[in-house]
Structures are given as structure tokens and as C-alpha cells.
Amino acid sequence: MAESRSRDLRDQCAEVALKLIGEVGVEGLSIREVARRLGVSHQAPYKHFASSNHLLAEVVRRMYADFSAYLLSRPKGRNEAESMENLGIAYFEFAMRNPLHYRLMFGNPLPDPDQHPEMMSEARAAFTILLDSIAAARGGKNVKLDQLDALFVWSSLHGLSTILRTNALDEIGLKQAVLSEALPHTLMRIGVALGI
Amino acid sequence: MAESRSRDLRDQCAEVALKLIGEVGVEGLSIREVARRLGVSHQAPYKHFASSNHLLAEVVRRMYADFSAYLLSRPKGRNEAESMENLGIAYFEFAMRNPLHYRLMFGNPLPDPDQHPEMMSEARAAFTILLDSIAAARGGKNVKLDQLDALFVWSSLHGLSTILRTNALDEIGLKQAVLSEALPHTLMRIGVALGI
DNA sequence: TTCATAGGTTGACGCCGTCAACTTAGTCCT
DNA sequence: AGGACTAAGTTGACGGCGTCAACCTATGAA
């Protein structure tokens, strides 16, 4: 009972923290406000998280887990090449549909990775999905080349997602038509580059 | 005299703020600490910056200006293709040599762009350098295609820089050899993709 | 000479994170 | 059954932060 109640509070903290971040941004996350919204004292969350950064790390860890799940749930495709393409689409979709989640994972001021190993192991799992898919598409004969290309693909997708998300490009003067074609164009270029 | 003294304080604030961010991270930036280090009262900076976010925006604006200057100062190359390659190298060099500057520009919790137009206009200038270079490399016949490819190139470079900078990859288990080859490999892939 | 104003000062307010000390309820030996 | 231990939650305090308000002072224009 105590076990379940406490687990409840831990979960609820992470949940409310995410909602709060959505409202006021990462820098507005306040452990006291989380406690307030849950109707508990300002110290209660400290029984479950050593510091406010640990709370943030837990939120981020969950985002990585969601991300991995989304990538894995993509349509399979009839062959490895199609599966790769679907992966690219899924990656981008996730970033566009869940900008907050994506920003939390790859936005910068993350809790120091060294101090939050559980967060990092979830991140590693996400990258592994991408790496495996590339290796599969090419028979996995040249591990190093696969890794380099996985990095290349990830870079391109990540960069595009980040850039489009910021709205910086509206300001820069690119037309909407350009922006909406950016993903298929990038996927096409990646295909050309990798000879798939 | 008053003019020059005040301009001094404004400049000094931005300078000290950058150094402070380097020490304690963006989230540790404190207007009071800046004032303390400059030996002025905690309110003095407010005569030059409306809020601490405005101070941050000024710091970021300067980073964009430095970035543009670095890109423009790259070796010219004997032809447009070489000039493009040098641009890619310069982009990446800047990101690796000045991780703090780079993180400030593209790390997430930036001051709201709408409220800091001077910051954004400096950012626009940096993207224009890249766009112009791509257009030049291809004679500028197809504007939309040039824009799409500029976006593709920028995405790839930006993504790679961001990913490598986080050290996430060490944790993920990639060998050092892979990481050191990542840039040339990515530039090569971009070349293949664009048929340059 | 007057006087508005830019730049700088002190003081106060209400947030925040976090340490410390206390309460309470449940668990586990004996 | 009873007592010790512990996990989970509470209240209270401290110092740091951003920022509003009020005050001071020199300078340059009228």
C-alpha cells in the first residue's frame, strides 16, 4: 500500500512536471509548483527525487522511451529499404507531433548525462534502433561504415527536425512550399547519398 | 563620457555573462552575479537590459555575428565546389572549437525569437551565407531546389555538430575512430547526394 | 541657471531550491 | 504482542534569485 502510494506520487510528479514544462518551458519547471498541483507539501517530491534535476532527468528518460516505442511501431515495409524510409518518416513525425518531447530529448540544457545513467541508457536504446535498421538494410557487412552512415542519417533527420521546429526559417524568408517539401527532399537526398 | 561609460557597462555585461554561462551553464546565468563581478549594484544592468532574457539575447546575437564572420573568413577555394566544401569544414570547425558559442546559438531554451528581432536578424544573416554559397555552386538556376538543398546541407551539418557535441555518442558505444571520421564522411555523403 | 534625463544606488517582495528536524504509519525481527 | 527501524510526508528556515519602486547625481540642453 505504502509502496503503491509512493510509486503513485513519483509517477504523478513526472506527469505533472511534463505538463508544467509544456506550459512554462523547461526553465520554468519548479518542484514546488509540482507539489502544489498535487496537493502535497513542497518537500514531498524530494522523497522520490534527489533534486529538481533528477526530476527532469526522469521526465526526459520517459521521452526517450516513448520515442523508441514510436519508432518501433512504424509500418514494417515490404523490404529493408522501405523499412528505412518508414523509419525516417517516423522519426520526423515524432519530432513534429511532439515538439515538446523532442525538445526535451535533444534540447540542450539536459541534466548532466554522467549523473543520470538511466536516462542515457534509454537514449542509447533509441539510437540502436536506427543503427540496426541501417545495418539490416545493407546486410551488416561493414560495421564501421554502417555506423558512419547511421550517424549521417541521424544527423540529417535531427538537424532538419531541429531547424524546422524553431520557426527560425519563417523569419529567414523561406516559403511554406519549401518547408513542406523539406522532409521528402531530405529523405530523397539521403537515399541518393547511400545508394539505396 | 557618460555615453562611453554606459556603453562600456553594456558591453561588459554581455562579456561577463558569456564567461559566466561558460562556467555554470545557461541556466546558471544570474544578472546579480554579473553585476557583482563588475563591481556594480545588482540593478545597474537593468539600465541596459530590460530583463535577464534580454541580456541572454544580446549574448546570443553576438554569437551569431561571430559565427557569420568565421564562415566568411574561410579560405576561398579555387572554384565553387571547393568553396562549398570549405564552408562545410568551417561550419563544423566553429562548432567544435567554440562549443559554448554553438550551443548558445542552437541550444534550445533561447529567448523567444519574436521578442528579440536583433538576435534573429543576425541569425538570418548566417543562413544567407550558406544559401548563397549553394546557389553560387550551381549557378542559381533553380531557386527552390537551391533552398531545399541548403536546408539539407545545413540540417546535416547542424545535426552532426549537435550530436557530436553532446558526448551522447561516447555513451552509446561508438568507437573514437568512427567519431573522428564522421565529418569527412558526412561531407562526402553530402557531395554524393548533391552530385558535386 | 534651471531642469529633465540617463545611469547608478538601496531596499523590499515573493518566488525558488534545499537542508534540518519532526511526525506518522507500516514492516520486520524476536 | 511489542519494540526498533524505515519510508513517506510535514513544517520551518535560509540564502539566492529576478524585478518593482524610490531615491541620488551628474550632464547637457533650454
Report the pLDDT value the prediction gives residue A115, as an integer from 0 to 100: 81
Range of weakest confidence among A84-93, B31-40, B53-62, B126-135: B126-135
Report the pLDDT value the prediction gives residue B124, as an integer from 0 to 100: 82
Q: Which residues of B touch A186 (CB under 8 A)?
A: 151-152, 155
Report the pLDDT value the prediction gives residue B62, as an integer from 0 to 100: 95
- Tell me whether 0.85 is exceeded by the ipTM: no
* Statement: residue A90 has pLDDT above 90: yes
Pairs of CB atoms within 8 A across A/B: 154
The nucleotide whose C1' lies nearest the CA of B54 is D18
Domain with CATH 1.10.10 in chain A: 1-49
Nearest chain A Cα distance for residue B11, angstroms: 25
- Percent of chain B surpassing pLDDT 70: 88
Reported as a pLDDT band with limits 50, 70 and 90, residue A3 is very low
User: What tens digit of pLDDT does each residue of A30-87 get?
Assistant: 999 999 999 999 999 999 999 999 999 999 999 999 999 999 999 988 988 888 889 9
* Statement: residue A169 has pLDDT above 70: no
Report the pLDDT value the prediction gives residue B16, as an integer from 0 to 100: 97
CATH code of the domain made up of B1-49: 1.10.10
- Alpha helices, H only, A73-175: 80-97, 99-106, 117-137, 143-165, 168-172
Give me the architecture of the B60-194 domain, per CATH.
Answer: Orthogonal Bundle (1.10)
Report the pLDDT value the prediction gives residue A124, as an integer from 0 to 100: 83
Is A154's CB less than 7 Å from nucleic acid strand C? no
Q: What string of DSSP letters covers B114-153?
A: GG-HHHHHHHHHHHHHHHHHHHHHTTT--HHHHHHHHHHH
Chain B CB within 8 Å of residue A177 CB: yes
Identity of the residue numbered B185? H
If you search the block for the grid coordinates 534527489, which residue do you land on?
A: A50
Q: What is the average per-residue pLDDT within B162-171?
A: 66
Q: Is the dihedral of CA A165, B180, B71, A156 positive or negative?
A: negative
Report the pLDDT value the prediction gives residue B18, as an integer from 0 to 100: 97
Reported as a pLDDT band with limits 50, 70 and 90, residue A108 is low
Q: What is the average per-residue pLDDT within B44-63?
A: 95
Identity of the residue numbered A73? S
Which position has the higher pLDDT, A58 or A178? A58
Chain A CB within 8 Å of residue B24 CB: no
Q: What distance, in Å, lies between the first and last C-alpha atoms of chain B? A: 55
The three cell numbers locating residue A101: 518531447
Report the pLDDT value the prediction gives residue B178, as an integer from 0 to 100: 79
How far apart (Å, rounded) are the C-alpha atoms in residues A6 and A195?
Answer: 53
Nearest partner of B88 among B134, B139, B124, judged by Cα: B134
Footprint of strand D on the protein (CB under 7 A): A 2-3, 5-6, 9, 40-44, 46-48; B 1-2, 29-33, 42-43, 46, 51-53
Which position has the higher pLDDT, A177 or A23? A23
If you search the block for the grid coordinates 514494417, which residue do you land on?
A: A76
Domain with CATH 1.10.357.10 in chain A: 61-194
- Domain A61-194 fold is Tetracycline Repressor; domain 2 (1.10.357)
Q: Which residues of B touch A151 (CB under 8 A)?
A: 160, 163, 169, 174, 178, 182, 185-186
User: What tens digit of pLDDT does each residue of B70-108 get?
Assistant: 999 999 889 888 888 899 899 889 988 998 898 888 765
Length of chain A: 196
User: What tens digit of pLDDT does each residue of B99-151 get?
Assistant: 889 888 876 566 777 778 888 888 888 888 888 887 888 777 788 888 888 88
